[in-house]
Chain A
Amino acid sequence: MNAEAQEFLGTFISESYYFYASVFMLLIHAGFLAYEGGASRTKNVLATMVKNLLTLSSVGLAFFFFGWWVYNAFPLFPVSGGILGPWTNPATNETVKAAMAVVETSYPWSPALAPNTADHLTGVFFFAFALFAMTTASILSGALIERVKIGAYIIMSIVLGSFTWVVAAAWGWNPFGWFYTAFGYHDFGCSAVVHGVSGFFTLGVLLNLGPRIGKYDERGNPRPILPHNLPLTMVGLMLIFVGFYAFLAACLIFLPGYTRETTIYGTPMTLASIGVNTTLALAAGIIGAYISSKADPFFTISGGLAGIISVGAGMDLYHPTVVIVLAFFGAFLMPKVALFIEKLGIDDAVGAFGVHGFCGLLGSLAVGVLATGYPQGEGVPVTGFIGQLIPTLICVIVLGFIPGYATSWLLKKLRLLRVPRDEEIAGLDIADLGVEGYPEYSMNWATATVTAQNRAEAVTGRLEPHPGMQE
């Protein structure tokens, strides 16, 4: 094999690696589709799934129009430079010059994103990041099911998936990002950068959206609204787990000419450690939530996700025993956090805040305790608690909670956030899509009775009991 062929082989391996990792990441969306569809009631199953499907469109296109540019343009802003764009002079300094080389490939009109034999890698990185962005937005979708307007969800998914999360990634996950260069922040598997941001964004939205009709009784006590198809939800989470392996694998950097694998921060790592630590986190997370929730099936399987998120930030550094203990701890606390949120009057339909917000926060802070003192590069501070704490708080509050609350507040004031009461009672499948998810259910006596009951209550305006609700 001649030198030119060897060089091309390196390029092709990188291109293939990120391409197939991203294809497998799409399983996260298949998983979210099943997970949220199963978690909804029969009258909302199609609307829930379609809303989830639309995330691919809203975030996919918005990420092409501006999200990919935001990731490359925001790393220096506002601490060590401005927002990089066509107006920036690359000769300002060496850092800006190096960063601008990437910024110029991320404009929607850039030839690097179009079929181009001179650039095999920009496109696959765009693909991987677009999938990261869609995943982040999908976290929001589950929590809001059964009462949010599709248009409102699309707007919020764009704000979260193509802007606020991307700014967090630019600051905390980009090698030029000031979280890293100024604080030594380390978040390999995006505990705070993806999950913390989306979990707290979701919390902000839920405060304005309000609970589903019938979720709380007259005294404000929560009533369980059970998933209509828990087995589907569980299969969905298994698909999410498969996608998560690919997500974490895509966090590895291996480029043509490289002699070793690195994290996005340039520190050494192995794909093997992701294999071991993800498996252990999944296992320990499931048992933590199983014990804590007293074998609640929904929380038990969510525990796997909670475990992985709890160790995600330091997965490239943790010894497997650290992973087991931390994943267990995170997943053990997750159901308690979810129930606490519910008691506060916040109706998070799938416990997204507990799994993503709480465990993302925990996972990011844990690096400052369990992986302290790692040097990461010349001039970059070593990993430590304060170096994790400040960027994590910025992620969850400034880029998560506040934008989520502000966007949903604005939509609420414009009466664009929540579906009308009668539509919510009738179910969004009929109201939004005009078809039922399970038309054959009309042959079933129980469903026919409940449907008639719902219609009657919609007319009288009473709070409705619904299929699956326990009195």
Chain B
Amino acid sequence: MSSPFSNPKEFLEAEGPIYTFGNNPLMITFLLIVSGILFLWFIYASYKIKSGKPPAKNPVALSLLIVASAFSLAGGVYNSTVDKIHQPTKRESRVISSKQQQWQLPITLIGMVASGSWLQRHSQKRQRKRKYQ
């Protein structure tokens, strides 16, 4: 029940709040958060939507994507080169690979996720475009 009243007299003679979920501040808080998210979505969408055309690529996001992918690629190339030049002992090898993984993994992941999402969005846009043509 979203009514804060239990009988007609209480409601018809109410002095003060009569609004829905008046007795449930948690619900109001939840709805306020949802409203805030919708508002943020609106601001985000206002940058992305260009009257039905594919959205312009965000230069910052695109730069981050290129940098992350370049790092990921460079890291891979560097590792393979280092492995060939320097053949460490088994113990050294374990230490080096764990250290490499510590800094390399997040960048690789960012690169993969960013590339994946960009490609997915790109293909969706293409499909949508094809549908309307």
Residues on A lying within 8 angstroms of B by beta carbon are 266-269, 273, 284, 287-288, 290-291, 294-297, 314, 317-319, 321-322, 324-325, 328, 370-378, 380, 382-383
Contact count A vs B, C-beta below 8 Å: 93
The reply to whether B8 and A294 form a contact with Cβ atoms under 8 Å apart is no
Which residue in chain A gives the minimum CB-CB distance to B30?
Answer: A321
Is B3 touching A294 in the complex (CB atoms < 8 A)?
no
Contacts of B50 in A (CB 8 A): 295
> Which DSSP category, helix, strand, loop or mixed, fits chain A's interface?
loop
Give the residues in chain B near A269, CB-CB below 8 Å: 18
Which residues does chain A contribute within 8 Å of B32, judged by CB atoms?
Answer: 321
- A316's nearest neighbour on chain B, judged by CB, is B18
The 6 closest A-B pairs by CB, nearest first: A373-B1, A321-B31, A373-B3, A375-B8, A324-B35, A287-B42
| Cβ B34 vs Cβ A321 within 8 A | yes
Other A-B contacts than A317-B19, A375-B7, 12 sampled, CB-CB below 8 A, are: A287-B38, A291-B49, A294-B51, A294-B52, A317-B20, A318-B19, A319-B21, A319-B31, A325-B31, A371-B20, A373-B1, A375-B6
Nearest opposing residue in chain A for B41, CB measure: A291
Other-chain residue from B19, B38, B51 in contact with A296 (beta carbon distance below 8 A)? B51
Query: Bound state CA distance, A374 and B38, in angstroms?
Result: 28
Residues of A within 8 A of B39 (CB): 287
B2 at the interface (CB under 8 A from A): yes
Q: B22-55 vs A: 1/0 string, CB under 8 Å? A: 1000001001101100110110011001111000
Cβ of B11 and Cβ of A268 under 8 Å apart?
yes
Q: Name B15's closest neighbour in chain A (CB-CB).
A: A268
Check B71 for interface membership: any CB of A closer than 8 A. no
Flag if A374 contacts B3 (CB, 8 Å): yes
17 contacts between A and B (CB under 8 A): A268-B11, A268-B18, A287-B42, A288-B38, A290-B46, A317-B3, A321-B31, A322-B21, A325-B35, A370-B2, A372-B1, A372-B2, A373-B2, A375-B6, A377-B8, A377-B12, A378-B8
Q: How far, in angstroms, from A385 to B1 measured CA to CA in the complex? A: 11
| Chain B residues proximal to chain A, CB less than 8 Å | 1-3, 5-8, 10-12, 14, 18-22, 28, 31-32, 34-35, 38-39, 41-42, 45-46, 49-52
Q: Which residues of A contact B6 (CB under 8 A)?
A: 375
**Which B residues are in CB contact (< 8 Å) with A288?**
38
Does A290 lie within 8 Å of B45, measured CB to CB? yes
Q: Distance in Å from the Cβ of B23 to the closest Cβ of chain A?
A: 10
Tell me how far the C-beta of B48 lies from the nearest C-beta in chain A, rounded to whole angstroms: 9
State whether A294 and B20 are in contact (beta carbons under 8 Å apart), knowing that A267-B12, A372-B3, A376-B8 are contacts in the complex: no
Q: Return chain A residues, CB-CB under 8 Å to B51.
A: 294-297
A319 contacts B3, C-beta separation under 8 Å? no
Given contacts A322-B20, A325-B34, contact A374 B11 (CB under 8 A): yes
Residue A284 contacts which of B14, B21, B38 (CB distance < 8 angstroms)?
Answer: B38
Alpha-carbon distance between A294 and B18 when the two chains are bound, in angstroms: 37
A206 to chain B, nearest CB (A): 24
Q: What is the bound-complex CA distance between A1 and B83, given in angstroms?
A: 101
Residues of B near A383 (CB, < 8 A) are 3
A380 with B49: CB separation less than 8 A: no
